[in-house]
Amino acid sequence: MPLELVTIPCLSDNYAYLVHDAASGETALIDAPEAGPIAAALSARGWTLSHVLLTHHHWDHVDGLTALLADHPAKVIGAAADAHRLPPLNTAVSEGDTIMIGRETARVIDVSGHTLGHIAFHFPDSKLAFTADSLMALGCGRLFEGTPAQMFDSLSKLAALPADTLICSGHEYTLSNGKFALTIDPDNTALISRMDRVQKARDAGQPTVPSVLADELSTNPFLRGHDPAIQARVGMTGAAPAAVFAEIRKRKDSF
């Protein structure tokens, strides 16, 4: 059986996630923006926290960890490359390493760009990828530390996952990301339709994440630098997709 997924709104626009293996009872948390909503989600389901998987060091992904662990001790896993600025880790991992949650193996992917040492966790059997602030719904994270080339490489890794993978990203930025996407790809009927669904979801107070990778591939401009229509739109017909990505990211920074 696949892992059970719970999406937990935190802070003003963050998300944490729980995955639960019913057979073993193991439950993993991905990122810890604040303790209260996560503890409430565990209590409501009667689950015992066994693992915490950290994607990167930014405060809005780790600040709830100390308070949470006080009542919910668990094994903390994070990037070896980021260990010097993460909370204390029980296990430090790098790209290609694997971890077990219950009976399922997750693969660690280096997705540096937003930060150096940012990692994602891919659970292939459950078709889940926890991407935090790398690949996001209709967008990607701002490049605080990495280069456009690094982020393009990271997004390319994620884009190569199976198209039915659920992309579990770290923030409720979809509506604003989509408004920008329409300036780059205004004639994309799939994007126009998706934005209608996103607006309705937000009007109803519903999350717009996780998203399906297939939808990102067809509507997220940061994954579409190869598209001739987008290349023409940004005045870069025939340019390398990585260069087109860099231009789109630059435009988003000032949007």
Q: Is 114 marked as binding a ligand?
A: yes
pLDDT of the chain along its 255 residues, tens only? Answer: 799 999 999 999 999 999 999 999 999 999 999 999 999 999 999 999 999 999 999 999 999 999 999 999 999 999 999 999 999 999 999 999 999 999 999 999 999 999 999 999 999 999 999 999 999 999 999 999 999 999 999 999 999 999 999 999 999 999 999 999 999 999 999 999 999 999 999 999 999 999 999 999 999 999 999 999 999 999 999 999 999 999 999 999 999
CA distance 124 to 2: 10
The secondary structure of 103-167 as a DSSP string is TEEEEEEE-TTSSTT-EEEEETTTTEEEEETSEETTEE---SSS-HHHHHHHHHHHHTS-TT-EE
- Pairing between strand 51-53 and 27-30? parallel
Q: Is 61 marked as binding a ligand?
A: yes
Identify the CATH number of the domain in which residue 184 sits.
3.60.15.10
pLDDT at 1: 77
CA distance 84 to 172: 28
CA distance 41 to 47: 8
Q: Is 133 marked as binding a ligand?
A: yes
pLDDT at 77: 98
Q: Is 58 marked as binding a ligand?
A: yes
Whose CA is closest to 191, among 169, 175, 168? 175
Backbone angles phi, psi at 48, to 5 degrees: -110, 125
Provide the number of structural domains found in the chain. 1
Domain interval for residue 249: 4-253
- Pairing between strand 139-140 and 135-136? antiparallel
Q: Is 118 marked as binding a ligand?
A: no
- The secondary structure of the chain in percent helix, strand, coil, rounded to multiples of 5, reads 35, 25, 40
pLDDT at 224: 97
